[in-house]
């Protein structure tokens, strides 16, 4: 009796385990079917487009932002090339050191350069140095100072009365004098001081009165 009862209980337990296992499988199958039905109700049929892949979401290769034109704006024009103002080639202070100062002055004049004479206390009439120095690049019209070894030599004042004011000034400069204009720089020279043919020295100043002479015959009055 005991063995039969035990065997009956074992068979009954096995049957219950089998029923439970089958019931569990049925639940899993129904859950899967329900999930599939839910996806279909949500519109996930085969006719819809598949979701985009990761590759389709990558942006297309494009030029750097700095090279892309802005919509509605034209690309900036390239800046025009500019060149520095040209300088006369080879225009430098000529090698006048050791030359007679009159020859050095004439050479500066030919090169369209101004000059200034500074006489020394030694002897002779040669140029000892220049400022700017010899070989320095220089612009036309620049004044070059010539330092002369000896004192200013004697010179005779030219007679320029009756000459045009500009012509008179050129003659005075040519002979080594510096003109002054007490009455202006236009017209005819009516008077000069020192007088023509007077003795003088290089770098002396000569005053010339240009313009009409006063009716009383006196010296023209300086203009304000």
Judge whether 197 and 168 are in contact, CB under 8 Å.
Answer: no
- pLDDT tens-digit profile of 170-224? 999 999 999 999 999 999 999 999 999 999 999 999 999 999 755 444 444 444 3
Residue 39: pLDDT over 50: no
**Strands 178-180 and 199-201, bridge-based pairing:** unpaired
pLDDT for residue 48:
42
Ranking 57-71, 130-144, 145-159 by mean pLDDT, the lowest is 57-71
CA separation, residue 182 to residues 55, 165, 203, 224 (Å): 95, 12, 18, 9
Taking Cα atoms as reference points, which of 166, 169, 174, 176 lies closest to residue 199? 176
Residue 55: pLDDT over 60: no
Tell me whether the CATH fold assigned to 91-151 matches the one assigned to 154-224: yes
- Please give the average per-residue pLDDT across 83-95, as a whole number: 69
Edge to edge, what strands does the sheet with 205-210 contain? 178-180, 205-210, 189-193
**Reported pTM:** 0.55
pLDDT top residue among 14 and 186: 186
Taking domain 91-151, whether its CATH number is 3.30.10.20 is answered by yes
Residue ranges of domains in the chain: 1-31, 91-151, 154-224
Question: Which class in CATH covers the domain with range 154-224?
Answer: alpha beta
């Amino acid at each position: 009796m005991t063995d039969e009862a035990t065997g009956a209980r074992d068979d009954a337990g096995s049957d219950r385990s089998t029923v439970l296992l089958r019931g569990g499988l049925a639940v899993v199958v129904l859950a899967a079917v329900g999930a599939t039905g839910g996806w279909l109700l949500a519109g996930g049929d085969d006719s819809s487009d598949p979701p985009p892949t990761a590759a389709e979401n990558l942006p297309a290769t494009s030029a750097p932002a700095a090279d892309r034109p802005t919509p509605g704006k034209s690309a900036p024009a390239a800046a025009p090339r500019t060149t520095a103002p040209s300088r006369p080639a080879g225009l430098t202070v000529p090698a006048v050191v050791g030359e007679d100062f009159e020859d050095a002055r004439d050479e500066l004049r030919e090169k369209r350069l101004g000059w200034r004479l500074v006489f020394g206390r030694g002897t002779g009439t040669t140029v000892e140095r220049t400022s700017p120095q010899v070989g320095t690049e220089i612009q036309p019209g620049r004044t070059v100072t010539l330092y002369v070894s000896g004192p200013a030599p004697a010179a005779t004042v030219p007679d320029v009365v009756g000459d045009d004011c500009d012509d008179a000034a050129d003659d005075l400069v040519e002979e080594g004098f510096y003109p002054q204009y007490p009455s202006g720089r236009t017209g005819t020279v009516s008077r000069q001081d020192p007088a023509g043919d007077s003795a003088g020295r290089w770098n002396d100043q000569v005053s010339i009165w240009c313009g009409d002479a006063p009716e009383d015959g006196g010296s023209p009055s300086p203009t304000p």
